[in-house]
Amino acid sequence: MPKNNQKKSGATWTDIFRPTKTDLNWLKKNFRIHPVILEELKGPSARARVEDYGHYLYLIYYFPIYDKEEQTSHRTEIDFIITKNAIITVHYEKLEALSDLKTKSEANSYKLIYKIISALMDFEERQLRHVGEKVEIVSKELFKDKEKEVLKMVSRLKRDISEYRIIVRHQGSLLRSFAQRGKYFWGADSEVYLNDLVGDHLKIIGHTDDYRETISDFEDTNNQLMDLKINAVMQTFTTLSFLTFPFMLIAAIFSMNTKDTPLINTPNAFWIVFGFMAAAMISLVIYFKKRGWL
């Protein structure tokens, strides 16, 4: 039999976790659910949608759950069967988002569905808190010469935000469609409640976009810092190459054993050449430092 059957004043909420054959037969007998829907309720669905079957609405709703091990969000599903005086929720994994709602009551089913989906959206916003905390960590680590570590954090955050946004982005059209169908199903009194859900969804999308833009700005800044370091290293190598090349050339010239090689038979020739090279190198180093190249 269905589990967590909570009677509300004026409306009944039945929560079913991993529906069995007995659960599906109960739905068929008590709510005249279409066989296609009963078959679909056996497992997760391929896409979110809302359908009007006359005496009930069928809503498939996706929302994100954060996976701490994978450090990203994954999609979970709740199916709603909604009548004028009853709501049945069906899900396939345990949901913390619903646990605090089972002692609350409402006068009719549209207020009850509003409360349930509002709780899911509150849960979605809580799922974003870890993103905000990590964005703050990135902002503190950004100028501490930890570009590689920051790059890894930014990459994980971008993946998490993208996965989260993919899941919640499609909720907007679903909730707008639900509001339109709900108005005809319940009447005009339900419109303000259902439209409020659409507004709450826009707030979530707004927070997500803010985080995405912020982390993108941090990524650009971090990349610029990495480029500065790379350019500094390349400049140092280039300068060193320029400094050493003339002396390598001089050394190569004097290493040639020819009759006309200068200083070949001069006393202290080695120290003369060495002193000349040292003086030239010191002069170049002083010049480069004045130009800011070292």
Check residue 147 and give its pLDDT. Answer: 85
pLDDT at 8: 45
pLDDT at 143: 86
Fold for 235-290, please state it: Methane Monooxygenase Hydroxylase; Chain G, domain 1 (1.20.58)
What pLDDT score does 294 carry? 63
The structure's pTM equals 0.77
Q: Where in the chain is the domain with CATH 3.30.460.20?
A: 3-228
pLDDT in tens, 147-163: 888 889 999 999 999 99
Residues of the chain with CATH 1.20.58: 235-290
**Ordered per-residue pLDDT tens for the chain, 294 residues:** 565 445 445 788 999 999 999 999 999 999 999 999 999 999 999 899 999 999 999 999 998 988 888 888 889 999 999 999 999 999 999 888 887 776 566 788 999 999 999 999 999 998 888 888 889 999 898 888 888 888 899 999 999 999 999 999 889 999 999 999 999 999 999 999 999 999 999 999 999 999 999 999 988 988 888 888 877 777 777 777 776 776 777 667 666 666 666 666 666 766 776 777 777 777 777 777 776 666
CATH: 3.30.460.20, 3.60.15.10, 3.30.930.10, 2.40.37.10. Which one for 3-228? 3.30.460.20
Long-range contacts of 198-204 (CB under 8 A, 24+ apart): 198/172, 200/118, 200/121, 201/121, 201/168, 201/171, 201/172, 201/175, 202/172, 203/125, 204/121, 204/124, 204/125, 204/128, 204/168
